[in-house]
Structures are given as C-alpha cells and as structure tokens.
Amino acid sequence: MFQNQKVIVVMPAYNAAKTLRKTYDEVMEQNLVDLIILVDDGSKDDTAAIARTLPNVQVHVHPVNKGYGGNQKTCYRLALEAGGDIIIMIHPDYQYTPKLIPAMVSIIGNGLHPCVLGSRILGGYALKGGMPLWKYIANRFLTAAENFFLGAKLSEYHTGYRAFSRELLERISLAENSDDFVFDNQMLAQILWYGFTIGEVSCPTKYFAEASSINLRRSIKYGFGCLSTSARFRLSKMGLIKSRLFRSQESSLTTEKALAGK
C-alpha cells in the first residue's frame, strides 16, 4: 500500500521461466506491492508453473497466444478487478529494474502524474545497457516523429516499464487497441488525447540473451504502426478523420462499459 492506495504489479509473460524468479524477488524487496498479477500468454516453458509457486502472485494463463497487446489488456482488466489504485507493468525478463517501483508509485500516489514511464533514453542508459545501435537510432527517429505529431516532449515512447493510476485505466479505450506490439504506442497516444500528463524517470536497462526482444521484421511493422497511430492522432485533432482510437470522452466511457458488461 501507498497512502491507502493498493499497488499492483502486472507482468505480461511469455517464456520467462529463466528470469521470473529474479524479477519477482526484486519486486517484493520494494515492500510496496500488494499483489502481482502474471498473465502467461501461452508460454512453451515453465513460466506459469514457477509463478504458481511464488507467494502473493495471481496467475492467469491464456490457452493460446493473444499477442503482447492482448496480454496487457488482460493484465489491466484483472488489476482493476482486484482493486488496484496504482498499477505498474514490468516485464518478467529482468530487462528493467524493479528498484524504480517506489519512485513511480510515489509520483502517481501523490497526484503528480497519472502515468509514469521508465525511460531508457534519459541518462544515456540505452546504449550503455547494450541496446543495439539500429534499435537506438529507430527509437530516436520514431520518438522525434511522435513528439511532433502528438505535441508532446517525451524522451521515448517505446519502453515496456510503465505505471498508471486507476482513473487513467478506467478512462481510456484499451479494448480498441491492437493485440500486437503497437498497443503500447496506441495507449500512450490515447493518454495524451484525453489530456492526461505523462512523467518519466531515468531507467537503467539490460540487454542479454534471456531478455525479450522482437526481430527486425516485427520491429519494422511496429515502427510503421507507430507512425500510423501518430498520423491518425493529428488528423483526428484537426477534425479531418474519425478514429476508433481517439473518441470523445463520453463515447469512450460508453464503449468501455459495454465491453465490461459482456
């Protein structure tokens, strides 16, 4: 708990058996987390079995792989159903350090920002942590384009380390987003669309054999998806198109309630 607010960590997991326990141990060392929800997206290893041996972990298994975005949709739905007030997403592959959880929780719990990102770019940690040069260059290009179209000044949009307030998760239309990797980007665009602010903390990161990563083909697909999302955001702001991602607040709430009732 943090100031009477329930803190839940969600872990979208896929083949994370080798790193799950280490990530779990460091999360629990922070002495702030009330519950961990791990959603296994059809892993082919012992991820779910290991998770079930860990105290204070709620495990949900997708019988078939729903994709990274589909996994997150389940994560956030379960976190809200469990009464989470502050929800932190961290990958169980130990690429991001859980030691930043207290800082992220404090920012949200004290009402400074309803969304906080762990940025690999702030402080120059990306290349130092082993990010491949081509990924770094792509990250910087996409971030510059997104800042231009979305009217923001974030250091990066592509981190997988994020924290949200309950109010934010209840207000945006997550069900409309992709089940693939571009979900992350669409979610941030929606947060900005509805006028929420986004804070960032500098995050050391590690690249190693067990850390999750997507290949070049899927990275290219993701990059074009990010640019498409940014373009739709700008055209919607200008009133030139209507997008299911960027609806009026009233329409968004109606859609979410209808989906929750199914």
pLDDT in tens, 40-96: 999 999 999 999 999 999 999 999 999 999 999 999 999 999 999 999 999 999 999
For residue range 26-36, list pLDDT tens digits in order.
999 999 999 99
Give domain status of residue 2, yes or no.
Answer: no
Give domain status of residue 1, yes or no.
Answer: no
pLDDT of 50: 98
| Domain count along the chain | 1
For residue range 148-195, list pLDDT tens digits in order.
999 999 999 999 999 999 999 999 989 999 999 999 999 999 999 999
Name the pLDDT band for 210 (thresholds 50, 70, 90): low
Q: Percent of the chain beyond pLDDT 70?
A: 92
Name the pLDDT band for 208 (thresholds 50, 70, 90): low
pLDDT of 213: 62
For residue range 238-260, list pLDDT tens digits in order.
999 999 999 875 444 444 454 45
Between strands 57-61 and 35-40, the pairing is: parallel
**Does 205 score more than 90 pLDDT?**
no
pLDDT of 127: 87
**Residue 126 maps to which CATH number?**
3.90.550.10
**Does 209 score more than 80 pLDDT?**
no
Mean pLDDT of 105-123: 96
pLDDT of 234: 96
Q: Percent of the chain beyond pLDDT 90?
A: 82
Give domain status of residue 132, yes or no.
Answer: yes
**Does 12 score more than 70 pLDDT?**
yes
Give domain status of residue 85, yes or no.
Answer: yes
Give domain status of residue 102, yes or no.
Answer: yes
Could you tell me the residue range of the domain that residue 19 belongs to? 7-260
